[in-house]
């Protein structure tokens, strides 16, 4: 018995993951395609005007006119859609600082935030599809169905209303 090795002590011979570079490449391609799809869907809206609920939090909001002091920026006006949303107010202040209140800057930032959320969705769905339970049902590369789901979310009409 002393000379026999137990089942647990066998050295495991694992092969290197050959698919890793290909998977990374497909994720990058999917991310680039999502960026193109998103820009294609929203490019015509970046030159739009401020409407409806944009007036109070942007045009009539004195707390976004200068970044210092941050205490003022992080305390948005109460009679506004940014009331209780200091991070939204901070993003408006940064946009105002970057482009001196250019409406285009607000729209571009909105599209970029939306794209970042879509890329996050791509990552979450891809990792979910790579789980042990779902992997056998997906096929070789889960990045493509994840990208399709993220693309639908990015350009869905319910989203375009809030982005444009």
Length in residues, the chain = 164
Alpha helix stretches (DSSP H) within the chain: 20-42, 70-73, 86-99, 103-129, 135-138, 143-155, 157-163
pTM, whole model, 2 decimals?
0.73
Q: What is the dihedral of CA 70, 75, 77, 78, to 10 degrees?
A: 170
Chunked into runs of 10 residues, the chain (164 residues) has average pLDDT values of: 51 48 83 95 82 74 82 83 86 85 82 94 92 76 91 84 66
What's the CA gap between 33 and 37, in Å, rounded? Answer: 6
pLDDT of residue 18: 47
pLDDT of residue 33: 96
Displacement of CA 100 from its chain's centroid (Å): 25
Residue 126 tokens, joined: 């891809």
Contact between 89 and 66 under an 8 Å Cβ cutoff? The reply is no
What's the CA gap between 51 and 31, in Å, rounded? Answer: 31
């Amino acid at each position: 018995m002393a000379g026999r090795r137990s089942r647990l002590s066998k050295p495991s011979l694992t092969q290197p993951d050959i698919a890793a570079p290909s998977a990374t490449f497909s994720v990058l391609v999917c991310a680039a395609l999502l960026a193109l799809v998103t820009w294609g869907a929203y490019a015509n809206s970046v030159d739009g005007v401020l409407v409806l609920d944009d007036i109070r939090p942007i045009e009539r909001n004195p707390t976004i006119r200068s970044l210092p002091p941050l205490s003022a920026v992080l305390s948005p006006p109460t009679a506004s859609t940014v009331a209780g949303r200091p991070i939204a107010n901070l993003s408006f202040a940064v946009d105002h600082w970057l482009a001196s209140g250019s409406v285009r800057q607000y729209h571009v930032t909105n599209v970029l935030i939306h794209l970042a959320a879509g890329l996050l969705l791509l990552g979450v769905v891809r990792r979910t599809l790579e789980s042990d339970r779902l992997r056998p049902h997906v096929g070789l590369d889960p990045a493509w169905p994840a990208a399709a789901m993220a693309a639908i979310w990015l350009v869905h009409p319910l989203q375009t209303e809030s982005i444009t």
